[in-house]
Structure 1
Amino acid sequence: MQPLKGIAFKVTAIALFSLMAALIKATSDEIPAGQAVFFRSFFALFVIFAWLVQRGEFPQGLRVNNAMGHVWRGVIGTTSMAMNFAALGLLPLPEVTAIGFAAPLMTVIFAAMFLGEEVRAFRLSAVALGLVGVSVVLWPRLTLFDQDQASALATVGVMLVLGSAMFRALAQIHIRKLVQTDQTSAIVFYFSLTASGLSLLTVPFGWVVPSWEQAGLLITAGLIGGVAQIMLTSCYRFAPASVVAPFDYVAILFAILIGYVWFSEIPTAQMLIGASIVISAGILIIWRERQLGLKRGKARPGVTPQG
């Protein structure tokens, strides 16, 4: 295991996913979520194919040993994606990102339950600290009073993101299992293929003909999503799910920046305070992993710190 390398892959993937989400949000007023899922998944296949050819892994890189694992990963991941895309049309980007931070905690719990990974008190405390920051960001949405139509739609958006977070955590656990038997290329390719197929089932529910600008944004989202998906899947080869999961938190910085620049979504002081708490939790995880690596290196000369 190489925790720091896994963390680097995860943070880069999150940055790309934040940009992808902004592209999807920019089209959400007219493009249905199911159609957005198709563009994001189908055009990601071109990136994956180019990646396989460049690495000399086509077609052998697409062989699988756990076919049903890929099916379940595809269904769960596609459900999470669709719910998140639908929420982007109902809530500001930073808010969707903040609520989605429920996923890392769920991942830590699922990793302990289903993968038998050891999760120590320090890491759990850091995750809990991050969720305190999420709560600070979300506090204005927790009121049940004065529910006009806009507020009611926002509440639906909140529920969609929470559902997406749960399915995303389950998908991450499936990825962690799949990398033990199948190559990263196969995991990423079959997810995009499954998502493309499942999204076509939503055609009867109101797909539209996109404008050239909308089509360009959606295609770009798909290409960026393909690159991000490769990096996200790769990160689990270098670190346990419970280690890289807290780094979903850095997405709040990207979301706040993109939301302000692109959508004129001005973050409140409360949101900035909450985001600072969340990022502090991520820094604590990095510091702890470095300390443990140094201790292991001293205790076992000749073995890498991650060994």
Structure 2
Amino acid sequence: MQPIKGILLKLIAVMLFIVMSALIKAASDHVPAGQTVFYRSFFAIPVILIWLWYRHELSTGLKVQSPMGHFWRGFVGTAAMGMMFAGLGLLPLPEVTALGYAAPLMTVVLAAMFLNEKVGVFRIGAVALGLVGVMIVLMPRLSTLSGPTVETAAAVGAVLVLMGALCAALAQIYIRKLVATEQTAAIVFYFSLTSTLLSLLTLPLGWVWPTQAEWVYLVLAGLIGGLAQIFLTSAYRFADASVVAPFDYASMIFALLIGYFIFDEVPTKTMLLGASLVVLAGCIIIWRERQLGLQRGKARPLKTPQG
């Protein structure tokens, strides 16, 4: 293990994902979310294929044992992407990032419901704390649902992002099932392929011809998204998940900087307070998962060998 290298790769991945989101936000005033999902997914595929070829995994990395598992992971992942991208067009980048932090909290709940994972009082309390933070971020938006105004559009955006976070959490449940039989390369590739095909279903809803600048934004978003996925996957090759997972929250720093300097977005104190609670809850859950992992590791050698 090389934890420093793993952390560095994770930070690069987090930064690239925020840059990708900023590019999508820049095109969101004109380009609909479904069309944006297509560009994000389609132009990520060549990057992933080149990576697999470089690692000599093209022949083995694309074999699957559970085609329907990949489809359903792709379906909910595509829904998550579409709603997040729609939210980016209606909300400041830091606020979308903060609400997106609800996904790991929801994953804990869904894992208990669908994977029969034991969730103790400690983690339930952390999830509750995180959801309080989400509501602090969300409530100022929901209070503006009174008519067709800019504030109402922002409220709709907040709801979309939260629904996207729920779909992202559900996608994580499918991934947890897939890793038992599928290679990481296959999970990454077939998600991009599935989301590319599913996004084409939104074509009748009114795709537009992007401007020259929007073409650049969208193509770069796809290429950078594919590259970010590679850095993210590589990070877990060099360090344990419990080591690199907390650095997900560095995305808020990048989002605040890009939001302020590129989009002239100034975060409110309420948003920062709510985001801080969500980040704290996420870190508590990560710490608890690490503790449980250490306990399981110590318990294994004490088991009596079965002959």
- Please confirm whether the aligned pair reaches a TM-score higher than 0.5, indicating the same fold: yes
1:98 and 2:98 aligned: yes
Structure 1 residues 117 and 290: alpha-carbon distance in aligned structure 2, compared to 1, 3 A threshold? closer
Contact 1:108 1:119 in 2 (8 A): yes
Per the alignment, residue 87 of structure 2 pairs with 87
What is the letter of the counterpart of residue 46 of structure 1? Answer: P
Structure 1 residues 294 and 62: alpha-carbon distance in aligned structure 2, compared to 1, 3 A threshold? closer
Deviations 1:210-233 (A, max 9, x none): 223211211111122113334556
Q: Shift of the alpha carbon at 1:207?
A: 1.9
Q: Shift of the alpha carbon at 1:278?
A: 3.0
Q: Which deviates further from its counterpart, 113-122 or 259-268?
A: 113-122
What is the letter of the counterpart of residue 172 of structure 2? Answer: Q
Query: CA–CA distance in 1 between the matches of 2:108 and 2:6?
Result: 16
Per the alignment, residue 38 of structure 2 pairs with 38
Contact 2:37 2:82 in 1 (8 A): yes
1:24-173 matches, within 5 Å, as: 24-144=24-144, 147-173=147-173
Name the TM-score, length of structure 1 as normaliser.
Answer: 0.83
Q: Which deviates further from its counterpart, 90-99 or 68-77?
A: 90-99
Q: Shift of the alpha carbon at 1:107?
A: 0.8
Query: CA–CA distance in 2 between the matches of 1:221 and 1:31?
Result: 13
Structure 1, gaps ≥5 residues long: 303-307
1:157-236 matches, within 5 Å, as: 157-230=157-230
Per the alignment, residue 305 of structure 1 pairs with none
Deviations 1:229-279 (A, max 9, x none): 345567889999999988765543332222112111001222223333333
Contact 1:119 1:242 in 2 (8 A): no
Count of residue pairs brought into register by the alignment: 301
Query: CA–CA distance in 2 between the matches of 1:72 and 1:298?
Result: 36
Contact 1:104 1:248 in 2 (8 A): no
Contact 1:249 1:278 in 2 (8 A): no
Structure 1 residues 234 and 174: alpha-carbon distance in aligned structure 2, compared to 1, 3 A threshold? farther
Q: Shift of the alpha carbon at 1:114?
A: 1.5
Per the alignment, residue 265 of structure 1 pairs with 265
Q: Shift of the alpha carbon at 1:67?
A: 0.6
What is the letter of the counterpart of residue 56 of structure 1? Answer: H
Contact 1:253 1:275 in 2 (8 A): no
Q: Which deviates further from its counterpart, 46-55 or 283-292?
A: 283-292
Structure 2, gaps ≥5 residues long: 303-307
Q: Which deviates further from its counterpart, 171-180 or 291-300?
A: 291-300
Q: Shift of the alpha carbon at 1:126?
A: 2.6
Query: CA–CA distance in 2 between the matches of 1:54 and 1:152?
Result: 48
Contact 2:11 2:247 in 1 (8 A): yes
Q: Which deviates further from its counterpart, 143-152 or 242-251?
A: 242-251
Query: CA–CA distance in 2 between the matches of 1:5 and 1:113?
Result: 35
Name the TM-score, length of structure 2 as normaliser.
Answer: 0.83
Structure 1 residues 103 and 287: alpha-carbon distance in aligned structure 2, compared to 1, 3 A threshold? closer
